[in-house]
Structure 1
Amino acid sequence: MKKLILSITLLIAGLTVHAQQVRELDEINEDNSWLKLGVNLGAPVGDVGNYSSFALGLDVAAQFMRTDNYGLGIATGYTKYFEKSSAENYDGLNDGFGAIPVGIMFRYYPQPEGFFIGTDVGYTFLTSVNSSDGGAYIRPQLGYHNYDWNIYGYYNQVFRADPSIDVQSIGVAVTYNIRFK
């Protein structure tokens, strides 16, 4: 997993090297900054896949295009992991559980419309878990974007100090861009 994180970090850093004009925060306008609102649908994998049948969530992010190709911002939301009816008894899980990520988002857009690559990194708070420790998370993404919409596939993992509940999922998400004025 460390190699995956290092590879993604190096890829994003390398892609930003050939960025052109760098914008400052006081240059925020409807052409380079927006609020992203959307939904995600995931399939739990790893240990939590024995407990949860699917995950459904809301994504919220604010993005600033630092250059024409490189965006950064903050990301949050809420994802509910629904319990299987025949779920194994996992200590600390009560009738499903929730995940609230708070992180930084990085995106690379090679063209104004088309494919993009990105990741969110930060901390996820878990709800309805007896040992409510959350953990650091990473959510690499690959998708398609245009002026108004983004659709992408993702892998999400929460790294917890207590590895008894390994929170991982793969899924798809759709977000709509609301322009800042």
Structure 2
Amino acid sequence: MKNIKKTVLALFLLSGMMASAQDTAYTNMLKVGVNGGISVPSENASSNLGLDLGYQHLVTPGFGLGIVTGYNQFFGKDNGGIKNNDFAVVPLAALFRYYPQTSGFYLGADLGYGFITGDKYVASNSPVERPSGGLYFKPEVGYHNINWNFALQYTKVFTGNEGNIGSQDYSVGALGLGIGYNLPLGK
């Protein structure tokens, strides 16, 4: 299993090196964006709205690495008598992007830790405390050009069994759309 993972990673990196993608004049960029979506699964939240901020360095013309953060507000919902509170996720994650061409289709993912903030309790009518965070994962697929990124993305923070109330699992996940603007910082 370890050899398969290493082989997949090596092929991914090699394809990034061989691809001709973004203009090499812009190897460093600041990425600013907005996102929104519906919570999936939707037991304790209905939707989300957020801001993204990241730095990306193009290691090769087709492969970018960087760091991202932001603020993602999840809106609580009533679920069978449980009055779930709003909460937010502040990620601190590594950014990975693969650009097969200068403009067009791209693949990406953010991987790191998602800090969960908000009310101390999961629901206003429950003494169960919300989790403080967990593994953050945000894969995305989209369209890009030198200035803009448009993506379909899935945001997930894995919290284990923390924050569960009875049969309601505490779920931090959303399927949504994101729009980002790239501010070139030069080479």
TM-score, length-normalised on structure 1?
0.80
Letter paired with 1:147? I
Would you say 1:68 and 2:67 are equivalent positions?
no
2:29·2:184 contact (CA, 8 Å) conserved in 1? yes
In structure 1, runs of 5+ residues without a counterpart are 1-5, 22-28
TM-score, length-normalised on structure 2?
0.78
Letter paired with 1:134? G
In structure 2, runs of 5+ residues without a counterpart are 121-129, 165-169
Match among 117, 125, 136 for residue 115 of structure 2:
125
2:131·2:159 contact (CA, 8 Å) conserved in 1? no
Match of 1:37 in 2: 32
Q: CA RMSD in A?
A: 2.5
For structure 1, which segment, 143-152 or 124-133, has the greater mean C-alpha deviation from structure 2 after superposition?
Answer: 124-133
- Matches of 2:29 and 2:144, distance apart in 1: 13
Would you say 1:145 and 2:144 are equivalent positions?
yes
- Matches of 2:9 and 2:119, distance apart in 1: 34
Letter paired with 1:171? G
Letter paired with 1:111? Q
Give % identity: 36
The size of the alignment, in residue pairs, is 163
Q: What are the within-5 Å matches in structure 2 for residues 79-118 of structure 1?
A: 79-84=72-77, 86-88=78-80, 93-94=84-85, 96-118=86-108
- Matches of 1:120 and 1:10, distance apart in 2: 21
3-state DSSP of counterpart to 1:17: helix
- Matches of 2:64 and 2:145, distance apart in 1: 14
Would you say 1:169 and 2:174 are equivalent positions?
yes
1:40·1:174 contact (CA, 8 Å) conserved in 2? yes
Letter paired with 1:65? L
Higher alpha-carbon Rg:
2
3-state DSSP of counterpart to 2:60: coil
